[in-house]
Structure 1
Amino acid sequence: MRTVPGVVVAGLTAGAVAVVALLAVQADGAQARAEAARASAGVSAEPSPSAPAPAASMPALPASSGTGYRVVYSVSQHRVWLVDPRKDQQVQASFAVTPGSAEPTPGSYSVYSRTAAGKGTDGRQIEHVVRFTDQGTVVFGFGAAVDGSTAPPTGTLRTGGIRSSRADGQVLWDFAPTGTRVFVAE
């Protein structure tokens, strides 16, 4: 059987277009989930501790907290801001978090690893883990306990897991793919 080169090229082109379309739909779905999570968190009249704060009541972004699309974590305030300078309201969300027993050194980092679900160093089941640095033997990253707990770790184990509510963990997960800058401020 003889294959006509034009048919092969047309088939390969159609396959490539289908793959690109699928990837576009998946990317659009992640954006839609992030927007839906932000919208549903802001629906209640009184924001819950896990709902991203409305812009009017949101603590100000720390001074000298980097530029561009980024996650900002304040060590002193135990708070996260998700910043997208391409938007009219640059701070897309902000929420309180609970640090581990160790804090990362202030500076600029990048998300280097993500895990949808696993076990934290404190033994709890966690989800939406977004890691941005390891310093010595401590790995620092954001995540949410599946049981909803944001209690700080006990004992002498040094942990770098920065815990949020499950809803906030989902928003951060959707906002910060691998390579996203994370700025740790005082």
Structure 2
Amino acid sequence: MPVPARRLPSWAWVTGLTAVALVLVAMLAVRAEDGPQPTASASKKPSPSASAKPSTSPDDAKPVAVPNGSGTGRRIVYSLAQKRVWLVDASDAARRTFAVWPGTVGPAPGTYTVGTRRETNTGSDGVKIENIVFFAISSGVNIAFSNALDGSSPPPPVSGTQTGGVRMKAADGDAVWKFGTAGTTVAVVK
């Protein structure tokens, strides 16, 4: 007498197939880590319309002196004309400097203080950002240092849009976040 075949319930099939899929995805992820990785190239010349982007020229790697008239002591210095930030320690030594992408609204030259900080948010340009360090308000727009979560440069602003983000590369954003605690002085110079 033949014995009827036992059928597996559908939940068992789904569970088994899901487990196999997860193992395959994990294996592919491990193999992808071993493969070639994209690298940035500094050989590209910025287009004329990309004038708001930081320079990728060799001059960007040269030490740049902290601007005169930016104060003394521990502070963040932001030069509007140079589109550059310096993190200056208590002995007036620049510990880090880097180029930035300013927003369409900037602060007037002067001395400000870091107030509110926010780990993540969406910028006024719709980009997900992190390491947000607010220090001024200009024309009703909050001015803050930040970097895009995906590490990208900000998109060109839509005509008439007011943006107050002073964007930077992710590593520079991490440095500003660690350095620019509440109460830190921000000196804005021309």
Shorter-chain TM range is 0.5 to 0.7
Q: Which residue is equivalent to 1:127?
A: 130
Query: Residue 61 in 1 paired to residue 66 in 2?
Result: yes
Out of 167, 174, 182, which is 1:178 matched to? 182
Q: How does 1:36-185 map to 2 (within 5 A)?
A: 57-86=62-91, 90-155=93-158, 156-185=160-189
Q: Deviations over 1:102-147 (max 9, x none)?
A: 1110000000110001110111000000000112311101000012
- Measured after TM superposition, the shift of residue 86 of structure 1 is 3.3
Cα distance in 1 for residues equivalent to 2:138 and 2:147: 21
CA contact (8 A) 2:114 2:183 kept: yes
Contact 1:98 1:152 in 2 (8 A): no
| CA gap 1:72/1:152 in 2 versus in 1, 3 angstroms | farther
Which residue pairs with 1:5 in the alignment? none
The one-character-per-residue Cα deviations of 1:43-92 (angstroms, maximum 9, x if unpaired) are: xxx9xx89xxxxx92111111011111000000000000000337xx111
Corresponding residue for residue 42 of structure 1: none
Segments of 4+ in structure 1 off by > 3 A? none
Deviation at 1:173, TM superposition (A): 0.5
8 A contact 2:148–2:154 mirrored in 1:
no
Residue 17 of structure 2: aligned partner: none
CA distance in 2, matches of 1:62, 1:107: 13
> Could you say which structure has the greater relative contact order, defined with CA pairs below 8 angstroms and 6 or more residues apart?
1
TM-score (norm 2): 0.66
* Cα distance in 2 between the residues matched to 1:136 and 1:99: 15
Number of residues paired by the alignment?
133
CA RMSD of aligned residues (A): 2.1
Shift of 1:168: 0.5
Identity of aligned residues (%): 45
Measured in 2, the distance between the counterparts of 1:158 and 1:181 equals 25
